[in-house]
Structure 1
């Protein structure tokens, strides 16, 4: 049964091994953790057999990564490669610690998050900073193993303590022995099948792009196969917090749970993004410094996390730093090119930056299926280049898509538009508000085409509520920004605003 921690290291790094073992000693002494290194091989024992036996018992593998670690052919062949395969099968949780600078980016670890920021390896730290780093590593190992002193209790409201990691294999082993015959081998094959690895890969992909409900479902699928799977437990806990935070309905409950989890894994990039989201939603500081700091920390921890780039870009966009926002949106889009909200963010950024690229923006935005907002933004790019007919077609398509519930997945967190008062943002979440905005945009295009009757009909069909002043103001800003810089459109645009917006149509 898998119930111990396997530490892989180079003998040249024995001092660092001793430091790690010192920090893990409280868990070992409390019998919540068993450690194994090659120092446990007794004289006369067969070296390879003992390593294989230890690999078979490992639930968590810790790699102390240095140039000497990579230089060892023995480690590569007999420890590193077998551990990678066990991790791929979901049988072992793999944690790697950047101890000294190395070319880890050219190895399979490039796709696995480190226990610490690889830019600040242990060897570059001294005194209290090094102790803090080792404490973080020890806590991560405890989380992965399921040691209760490292995990603490479950978040408030769960009503249960963490499952001891040694319970599920024992129960499943008993079941297999009761069934008899070949059942045990079948059960082992089930738990080491690629199915687990597939769910974990999908979960990670969805967590990377902020699709927390989908990620939670994939992690849950793993837990239904292996109830004590440490990586799935930790991932699902993060995904559940992200899902609840996105709804914004129970921030008072979510916030302390998130703070506790972040305190146990302060360098985890996913949790840093969620901490930034908490600041953003709670508006802890109106100047958004709190969210800035967490998003920047997430990027420092994992520069390849697309959701961190996206969330940072949203902040940059809201404070008018459009050039910098375009760079961050582009990075998110580059890392996850098929993600609709990254495509939308980058497309709009191409329109707002200087110089704008309206052609590229409209082409990108029109690739997003079932997104009314993407088509409305593409229409603005059409205004800017004088293609009013294409703009009207995009707006009509947006109105056609609005009643479709499937579109809600592509237009995340409502629609946001700028107002003439730069300190305010129009945020539309209701179907009526969105229908009003889309209808007014189409009415504007019909007016710019010179079809006043069609414009007035579109205005009436928009069915704007009585308190639609901000929606009309947002349309006015759109016209001033994208249509009126073109001399041939300026006069009609101004007339539309006077007749339909200022007077109410």
Structure 2
């Protein structure tokens, strides 16, 4: 599963929530897993938790706004580290423009942003259209990332795939395995005795059933 990290200002939390709703289809399909700092449990160290998930993320979404750029934590810590990993090919950074701001002068300004042409989501008459564009971009990025990291995912499903694709090769053997059987006189006599007993019981049962169904029929054998 591709891990997705949200880097955002808490002032933009409502838009982050809306984006996560639109990414639900990808999460349900098992294509991605998402994380943001609101997932940190009580008593855990905030900085170390954020750093750990930032280092493990395959895709890092920068939710860009004036508040994001003004935040020392978002800009100086999360964004700078995200760009370092992006340049090394360790992760993919996708800028998502929430509100109008001077983002093109930022270190991520040369990256392809979404929505199309970096149009801020807040400027769309219907913001669902904007979030749909973002969702499609994240889906494409996740699919490309999965192909690039295919050995990692192949290892996770190797046993199942191997069992499914394995060809069962039968042992090499002769097709003529019959052995000629010679019956002894004792075996022949035993067979005749068992056969006679079976036939006698068959006729006895048939006559009994015939008499039960037809009382007028005399099944007694006069000797």
Could you tell me the TM-score, scaled by structure 2's length?
A: 0.64
Matched residue count: 156
Confirm whether residue 90 of structure 1 aligns to residue 73 of structure 2. Answer: no
Between Structure 1 and Structure 2, which shows a larger proportion of helix residues?
Answer: 1
Q: Residues 85-124 of structure 1 correspond to what in structure 2 (within 5 A)?
A: 85-118=84-117, 120-124=119-123
Kindly report structure 1 stretches of 4+ aligned residues shifted beyond 6 Å. none
The alpha-carbon distance between structure 1 residues 47 and 140, as it changes in their structure 2 partners (threshold 3 A), is same
Match of 1:169 among 152, 155, 168: 152
The 5-angstrom pairing of residues 281-296 of structure 1 reads none
Deviation at 1:168, TM superposition (A): 2.0
CA contact (8 A) 2:3 2:58 kept: yes
> 1:106 Cα shift?
1.8
Of structures 1 and 2, the one scoring higher in RCO (CA 8 A, sep 6+) is 2
Match of residue 131, structure 1, among 125, 128, 132:
128
Question: Within the alignment, does 1:49 sit opposite 2:48 as a pair?
Answer: yes
The structural deviation recorded for 1:35 is 0.2
1:253-288 deviation line (CA, Å, top 9, x unaligned):
xxxxxxxxxxxxxxxxxxxxxxxxxxxxxxxxxxxx
Match of 1:23 in 2: 22
Question: Using the alignment, how far apart are the partners of 2:146 and 2:72 within structure 1?
Answer: 38
Gaps of 5+ in 2: 157-223
Residue 8 of structure 1 contacts residue 75 of structure 1 at CA under 8 Å; is this kept in 2? Answer: yes
The alignment partner of 1:34 has SS state of strand
Q: Per-residue CA shift, 1:94-142, capped at 9, x if unaligned?
A: 1111110111122112211212245631111132xx2121111111111
The equivalences for 1:381-392 within 5 A come to none
Q: Separation in 1 of the partners of 2:116 and 2:153?
A: 36
SS of alignment partner, residue 104 of structure 2:
helix
Q: Distance in 2 between matches of 1:58 and 1:172?
A: 19
CA contact (8 A) 1:145 1:165 kept: no
Matches for 1:370-389 after TM superposition, within 5 Å = none
Query: Contact 1:4/1:60 (CA < 8 Å) preserved in 2?
Result: yes
Higher normalized strand content (fraction of residues): 2
1:27-426 matched pairs, under 5 angstroms? 27-118=26-117, 120-127=119-126, 130-146=127-143, 167-169=150-152
1:32 CA displacement: 1.6
- Residue deviations 1:383-404, cap 9 Å, x none? xxxxxxxxxxxxxxxxxxxxxx
Q: Secondary structure at the match of 2:73?
A: helix
Call closer, same or farther: CA 1:3–1:70 in 2, change over 3 Å: same
Q: Could you tell me whether the CA contact under 8 Å between 1:98 and 1:117 is conserved in 2? A: no
C-alpha spacing 1:119/1:29, structure 2 compared with 1 (3 Å): closer
Q: CA deviation at 1:165?
A: 6.0
The alignment partner of 1:144 has SS state of: helix
- Residue 76 of structure 1 and its aligned partner are, at CA, apart by 1.7
CA contact (8 A) 2:94 2:114 kept: yes
Q: Is the 8 A contact 2:116 2:133 kept in 1?
A: no
CA distance in 2, matches of 1:14, 1:81: 21
User: How far, CA to CA, are the matches of 1:163 and 1:31 in structure 2?
Assistant: 12
Unaligned runs of 5+ in 1: 152-161, 174-505
Alignment partners' CA distance in 2, 1:18 and 1:9: 11
